[in-house]
Amino acid sequence: DDGHEELLPEALSDLVRARVSGLSPEARELLLITAVTHRPTVARVARAVSRPVGQVVSGLDEAVDAGVLTRVSGSGELVFTHPLFAVGVVAVSPPGTRREAHRRAAVVAEGLEERAGHLAMAALEPDRDLADMLDRAAEHSLNRGAPETAAALAQDALRLTPTDTAIDSYRRAVTVAEYQFHAGEVTRARETLEDLLRRPAPKPERARALRVLGELLYHQDSYADAVEPLTQALTLTTDPDLRGHLLIHLAFADAGSGRFQEAREHAHAALLLADHVSDPGLLGSIFAVAAITDRLNGELLDERLLARALELEDPNQQRATALRPSLIAGHLRLYAGQLAQAEHHLTTILEEAVERGNESDVVLAAATLVWAECWSGDLDSAHAHARQAITTAERLGGDLGVCLACSFATVQYVFRGDLEAAGGCATRALALTEVSGYPVGSLWVWWGQAVGALAAGQPEEGAEAAEGMLNVVDLTGLPIPARVMGLADAIEVLVEMRQLDRADHYIDILLEAAERTQTAWARMTGLRCRALGHAAHGDLDRAETAVTEALRRADDSELVVEVARTHLVAGQIIRRRRRKREAAAHIEQALSAFEDAGAEGWATLAAAELARARPLTADTHGLSPTEERVAHLVASGLTNSEVANRLNISAKTVEANLTRIYHKLQIRSRAELGTHLAPLP
């Protein structure tokens, strides 16, 4: 506490001294109380010094006259003329005087955290009762979303722990590391934990240190590395709550490493402890982890178990976000293609993580939202969340977070048609998958690469990625379609490369998994693949039957881009059957959806297909029907928004059409349209 003055530049220290040196001792005392009190008012300062308000006002008026303090009329609120004056007043005061000011401020403190903080600043000697109070204050800070404050209070509790209580010191040191981790001070937290684990300690305390280290490792470095400390911790404790906590952490680490059966076994071991777990929030996490690991292993979703988990969730309780029932519910809804529900859960989690400053949780929630938003066709939001995930992961510095963020980011770049950026993310993610023990990350990269190759009309460029996904299916089966979310794209690559027998084999696998797990989006994409396979075999009757059934499945689907791709396939098949007007209707619907989403690669492909479905005449000026209509309306003087309203499309679609119109007509401005087109009446 003696080093405060050193934090101030010498010039500022001199300025503060000059301003306060002429004040009376009483005024200087009141000014110091004001500086250390949270939201100081005349009344609170008077209570702190146990003096009449009138006497306090007189003393404070000296500080006002000296230009150090202002007094807000009416409320009596006290405000320094510059924030650095508040720091300076404290810094130039003798240590003993500062401690006395904090003791007085504690009397008028408005809550546990504020009171404990003041008492800690006033204390010189270890104090068991005060250390206990600081423990409670730190936990309260963490649960309200202030991990930095929690870590500082926990550090004070450790400092004030009596030297004859080694167990308490060890326990509090673990707490400091845990709170530092939540506050983003990962390196300090890890160093603290590694130092603690080199010391002897009772089994329960050592188990807790290992649990925190395991959680830190799977957030920062490697799921595989996290398994060892978590498993070791299990051998050291019989406490049901701690064992339950460890088991669900192990389940999460297993799932991230691709060991889904092991994840389910750990989740069910935790479920067996349910009757003995005292923490309702932990019990909710156990139920949620059991629900998702069952689902990942091919079981139907236990809606009652998930509902019970959500009922037990306490959003104010600090717990690893990966194990929060609402985050798990978001994943489960995403697996089912229930995107609105998924995005609701995931957005709520992300907003809480940002508000609380839990940056490792920001990476997980933002990255998962990228997947949901790519499917829902909100590619602008997907891009924003991908950048948020990458930027946050880079700031934290862990390989695992960067791998996770780049894996998901690859998909959104591909959907947007930015193959160069996608390639950079893919290369970075794949380089980190082995280092971070996150092989699942490869699946998102492969999915993105396959989609990009198909949208570019170069299926051979996606062959390696397709084989990667197919190898996963060969090795692990397909318990649920979301385990290999890009399987339909891998199959489509096979079809385009004329590997039709292999394609038929994997179509059977995809459709079987879709029916068994009642996954509507997988039925749609599987039937679309079946239609493509029949068309490649030359059986257009069966191809049209399959794509018609796929479209029926698409009626209620929230997967906007996938529905549009299904319409595109329908248009291609129907065009081959020489029903061009009907084909064009499907393709135009697909094109509009691609343009609204900002899926430029697919929009370009659909525009080319539309040209085949509707051969252009000289009267069209080389424009598609949609482009021609947009061009005429713009030429008539309407704004983009007015054109969008007239055609019942988005302004983004109007802009995309105008870009293609300018390119085809070799013009640069709206004014030039009038020389090419006669405005519509």
pLDDT score for 615: 57
For residue 481, the 8-state DSSP code is: G
Return the number of other C-beta atoms located less than 10 Å from residue 333's C-beta. 22
CB 291 within 8 A of CB 301: yes
pLDDT score for 451: 94
What would the mean pLDDT of 581-590 be, rounded to a whole number? Answer: 91
Radius of gyration of the chain (CA): 32
The pLDDT tens digits for 274-284 are: 999 999 999 99
Task: Answer whether residue 118 shows pLDDT above 80.
Answer: yes
SS (H, E, C) 273-288: CHHHCCCHHHHHHHHH
pLDDT score for 619: 53
What would the mean pLDDT of 570-595 be, rounded to a whole number? Answer: 92
CA distance 181 to 213: 10
Is residue 41 helix, strand or coil? Answer: strand
Task: Answer whether residue 545 shows pLDDT above 90.
Answer: yes
Task: Answer whether residue 124 shows pLDDT above 60.
Answer: yes
pLDDT score for 164: 82
CB 89 within 8 A of CB 78: no
pLDDT score for 620: 58
pLDDT score for 542: 97
Amino acid making up residue 205: E
CA distance 353 to 346: 10
CA distance 44 to 114: 14
CB 219 within 8 A of CB 400: yes
Task: Answer whether residue 679 shows pLDDT above 50.
Answer: no
Exposed, middle or buried: residue 232 (CB in 10 Å: 0-12, 13-18, 19+)? middle
Task: Answer whether residue 617 shows pLDDT above 70.
Answer: no
Task: Answer whether residue 221 shows pLDDT above 80.
Answer: no
Task: Answer whether residue 76 shows pLDDT above 90.
Answer: no
More confidently predicted of 230 and 441: 230
What would the mean pLDDT of 186-200 be, rounded to a whole number? Answer: 91
List, as own/partner pairs, every contact residues 66-72 make where C-beta atoms lie below 8 angstroms and the sequence separation is at least 24, other chains included.
66/19, 66/20, 66/22, 66/23, 67/19, 68/19, 68/20, 68/31, 69/31, 69/34, 71/42
What would the mean pLDDT of 238-262 be, rounded to a whole number? Answer: 91
In this prediction, residue 8 has a pLDDT band, given cuts at 50, 70 and 90, of low
The pLDDT tens digits for 301-356 are: 999 999 999 999 987 776 677 889 999 999 999 999 999 999 999 999 999 888 87
CB 291 within 8 A of CB 264: no
pLDDT score for 154: 94
More confidently predicted of 81 and 508: 508
- Tell me which residue of 97, 100, 145 sits closest to 118, measured CA to CA: 100
Task: Answer whether residue 360 shows pLDDT above 80.
Answer: no
Task: Answer whether residue 591 shows pLDDT above 50.
Answer: yes
CB 530 within 8 A of CB 492: no
Task: Answer whether residue 632 shows pLDDT above 60.
Answer: yes
In this prediction, residue 220 has a pLDDT band, given cuts at 50, 70 and 90, of low
In this prediction, residue 653 has a pLDDT band, given cuts at 50, 70 and 90, of confident
CA distance 534 to 536: 5
In this prediction, residue 677 has a pLDDT band, given cuts at 50, 70 and 90, of low
What would the mean pLDDT of 593-597 be, rounded to a whole number? Answer: 90
CB 648 within 8 A of CB 642: no
pLDDT score for 460: 94
More confidently predicted of 366 and 10: 366
In this prediction, residue 527 has a pLDDT band, given cuts at 50, 70 and 90, of very high
pLDDT score for 647: 76
CA distance 553 to 547: 10
Is residue 387 helix, strand or coil? Answer: helix
pLDDT score for 399: 82
Amino acid making up residue 125: E
CB 218 within 8 A of CB 230: no
Return the number of other C-beta atoms located less than 10 Å from residue 627's C-beta. 23
The pLDDT tens digits for 464-475 are: 999 999 999 999
- Provide the total of helices (H) and of strands (E) in the chain, helices listed first: 36, 2
pLDDT score for 7: 53
- Tell me which residue of 639, 628, 218 sits closest to 438, measured CA to CA: 218
- State pTM to two decimals: 0.76
The pLDDT tens digits for 128-172 are: 999 999 999 999 888 887 888 999 999 999 999 998 888 999 999
In this prediction, residue 618 has a pLDDT band, given cuts at 50, 70 and 90, of very low
φ/ψ bin of 68: left (φ > 0), alpha (ψ from -120 to 50), beta (otherwise): alpha
What would the mean pLDDT of 542-560 be, rounded to a whole number? Answer: 94
pLDDT score for 6: 42
pLDDT score for 266: 96
Task: Answer whether residue 681 shows pLDDT above 60.
Answer: no
CB 469 within 8 A of CB 482: no
pLDDT score for 239: 93
CA distance 58 to 248: 62
In this prediction, residue 5 has a pLDDT band, given cuts at 50, 70 and 90, of very low
**b/e sequence 455-480, b meaning 16+ C-beta within 10 Å:** bbeebebbbebbbbbbebbeeeebbb
* Average pLDDT across the chain, whole number: 88
262 sits in which H/E element: helix 260-271
In this prediction, residue 575 has a pLDDT band, given cuts at 50, 70 and 90, of very high
The pLDDT tens digits for 466-502 are: 999 999 999 989 999 999 999 999 999 999 999 999 9
Task: Answer whether residue 54 shows pLDDT above 90.
Answer: no
CA distance 76 to 5: 29
pLDDT score for 4: 37
Task: Answer whether residue 12 shows pLDDT above 70.
Answer: no
Phi, psi of 75 (to 5 degrees): -80, -20
CA distance 113 to 180: 17
Return the number of other C-beta atoms located less than 10 Å from residue 231's C-beta. 15
pLDDT score for 73: 59
In this prediction, residue 1 has a pLDDT band, given cuts at 50, 70 and 90, of very low
